[in-house]
Amino acid sequence: MAFDGITTAAMVKELNDRILGGRLNKIAEPEADELLLTIKSLTGKTERLLISAHASLPFIYFTEKSIQSPMTAPNFCMLLRKHLQNGRIVKICQPGLERIIKIHLEHRDELGDLKEKVLIIELMGKHSNIIFCQTDDTIIDSIKHISEAVSSVRTVLPGRQYFITKTQDKRDPLLAETEPKVFSELIMKKAQSVHKAIYNSFTGFSPVQASELCFRAGIDGDSPVASLSDTDLQKLFQEFHKLIMLVKDGGFNPQIIYDDGSPLEFAAVELKEYGDKERRHFTQMSEVLETYYAEKNAVTRIRQRSTDLRKLVSTFLERDVRKYEAQLKQLKDTEKKDKYRLWGELIQAYGYGLPPKSGKLRCIDHYTGNEVEIPLDPLLTPQKNAQKYFDRYQKLKRTEKNVSEQLISTKSDISHLESIQAALDIAMDEADLIEIRRELFDSGYVKKRRDGRESGNPKKSHPLHYISSDGYDLYVGKNNYQNDQLTFKFANGDDWWFHSKKFPGSHVILHLGSKRKEPIPDRAFNEAGALAAYYSKGRGQAKVEIDYVEKREVKKPAGAKPGFVVYYTNYSMSIDSDISSLKLVEDA
């Protein structure tokens, strides 16, 4: 989701709650188009506010992470230090529902007189900027200079007057919440789909939020505006009014929506349109933004770095699937072998009375009593015809044995590659990819890297460690090597082992530890099962069937591939992949 006006409103509320009245201790510019403000709040807590005016990733949020800044501060940063160092934050506001935040600061000038300046943060995609102004809106400087050559609408240069660009035909929704007539007139003026008409009529609305309004009103957002009835307009306005009142009252519900484990959207209010998709709730909008951008960047980065591995695994997997299908067809052809053996026997039994150069033999099958017709080579004697069928029988018999063994091997290769695909889906960092690449190398799929990227002492990858609602430790292997390590080196015999029955996925261990003599609550089993479902290829299905058994029942056959195990007695459950009740602690 774009950083819309409602998200900005949630951040303004949080800024007022946390730093209003505080003093600006430090100012840094860690990256071009970024500021890091360190503020001592009225409660005595040190707050660190990160602001970005990057064209593709504008944001503002509080962070506790350490961020390195350059040794020499850029000019804009030095200017802010000169004017605002130790300044007191006296006002934080948002004009209407614009994606703009104004921070007013009081400071002492060179003569000791009390002055006020304004730091304006514009979070508007490619038009994002951080602008430093006098209280009369005269621009002192900005982190980005916008000349007339760049924009004919508004220049942002020292000495120029700051103003907010008027968006044609758009209205401030905070002024329209009690005017259903104005709302309807604005919407109906647009010759486009309903959700487009909403975000093109009111400032601060993103396409996602407009689509959410349509969903709440029970209206197809892609339908044309002209199709709306008076009842539809009334429902739409009611939902619009509710949302605006919620924003005015500060009743935000910050959350992130996940799709298949990856962050899909974030919002300051509940997004009902996404139904039962996994979602994570937060108390502060800053937590949402920091988590979302960090996870989104991490997922994107790992996806990019694992592209070569994914392509390689997919290529080998497709090859093995084709091989498996060909072997199945070949095995089916061997079903004819018993017919050839029977024909050889019948020729030996009845062929003595055949005229020379006969092309067929009609006789009674002594097993079924039915008449059969057997084709013959007229150039061969009955005895040689019989031997020809016996030879064909023996050849198909050998083929059946060999192909049956090959099928087992090919099926094992397919399962192994599918398990590596599953491991790539849950890889979180470079260390995970190194382990997966090592498994592919050990299995003969790839050659060892020569570029040195995996030499030295890279960070070691560890299984995931969760804490259940009842305080039990739950461990999840992120790849086949970790699965083997968890199951056969870490887990005790009376720990419980979980795995998806039909899908490749992680081994999950319910570790009893000091609780091994206590009765295990059903909830602990269910949460471990949910983890096994979540970290499998079955994630996203309504229910996933999970096998679970005491670890002592799990065996690894000699010579088996990494991650492959067998067990002969087990319990089963069918469960969804909701793990929202579990706490991820750290790597085991």
Structure token digits, residue 192: 């486009």
Average pLDDT rounded to a whole number, residues 50-67: 88
Architecture of domain 173-302: Orthogonal Bundle (1.10)
**pLDDT value for 588:** 46
Nearest to 285 by CA among 303, 267, 304: 267
Name the strands in the sheet holding 255-259, side by side, starting at the edge strand that comes first in the sequence: 262-267, 255-259, 279-281
Distance between CA 418 and CA 537 in Å, rounded?
9
Question: How far, in Å, CA of 396 to CA of 325, rounded?
Answer: 18
Q: At 426, list the tokens.
A: 């849950």
For residue 1, name the pLDDT band (cuts at 50, 70, 90): low
Contact, 545 vs 573, CB < 8 A?
A: yes
> Residue 552 pLDDT more than 90?
yes
- Three-class DSSP category at 259: strand
Instruction: State mean pLDDT over 351-365.
Output: 90
Instruction: Select the more confidently predicted residue: 503 or 185.
Output: 503
pLDDT tens-digit series, residues 292-303? 887 776 666 677
Name the band, by pLDDT with cuts 50, 70 and 90, for residue 191. Answer: confident
Cross-strand pairs, 93: 102
Which pair of tokens denotes residue 493? 């015999």
For tokens 């005895």, the residue is: 383
Distance CA 76, CA 53 (A): 13
Yes or no: say if 46 and 38 are a contact pair by the CB < 8 Å rule.
yes
Tokens in use for 266? 């974030």
Residue ranges per domain, the chain? 5-142, 173-302, 316-421, 464-587
Amino acid at 483: N
In this structure, the dihedral spanned by the alpha carbons of residues 451, 455, 456 and 458, taken in order and rounded to 10 degrees, is 110
> In terms of pLDDT, which residue wins out, 306 or 395?
395
Structure tokens at 202: 């009111």
Contact 516, 504 (CB under 8 A): no
Residue 260, phi-psi category: left (phi > 0), alpha (psi -120 to 50), beta (remainder): left
pLDDT tens track for 129-169: 999 999 999 999 999 999 988 887 889 999 999 998 876 56
CATH number given to 5-142: 2.30.310.10
Average pLDDT across the chain, whole number: 89
Mean pLDDT across 529-535: 95
